[in-house]
Amino acid sequence: MIFREAEGITYILLKSEAEMHGLPYEFPCRMITLNVHSSLEAVGFMARIATELAKHDMGVNPVSGYFHDHLFVPDGRQNDAMNILNEMAKS
């Protein structure tokens, strides 16, 4: 993905692609795709997930596509995030 902001452009791409093109990167992460089709107008859905991850000292950068929401969690914490999400799904 590409975000154009007044301060510059942000790319979301594979680390290997950034390295291949000599691009610096700031947040090595793993993408988790939620297998639910949530409305782009849903209120509180992503906030609930972010709050639960924050309780476990984990930040998340969410991106919502039309069909799915995607969570970008710190590299190395993806298993922790999946465990938290699985517990949330059970409750």
> What is the tens place of the pLDDT at every residue in 12-63?
999 999 999 999 999 999 999 998 877 777 788 899 999 999 999 999 999 9
Backbone angles phi, psi at 22, to 5 degrees: 65, 30
Would you list the domain boundaries of the chain?
A: 27-90
Confirm whether pTM is higher than 0.85. yes
- pLDDT tens digit sequence for 74-91: 999 999 999 999 999 998
Name the CATH superfamily for 27-90: VC0802-like (3.30.2130.10)
42 secondary structure, DSSP code: -
Instruction: Dig out the tokens for 35 from the structure.
Output: 């297998």
Question: Is there a contact between 83 and 73 (Cβ–Cβ < 8 Å)?
Answer: no
Entry field: residues in the chain: 91
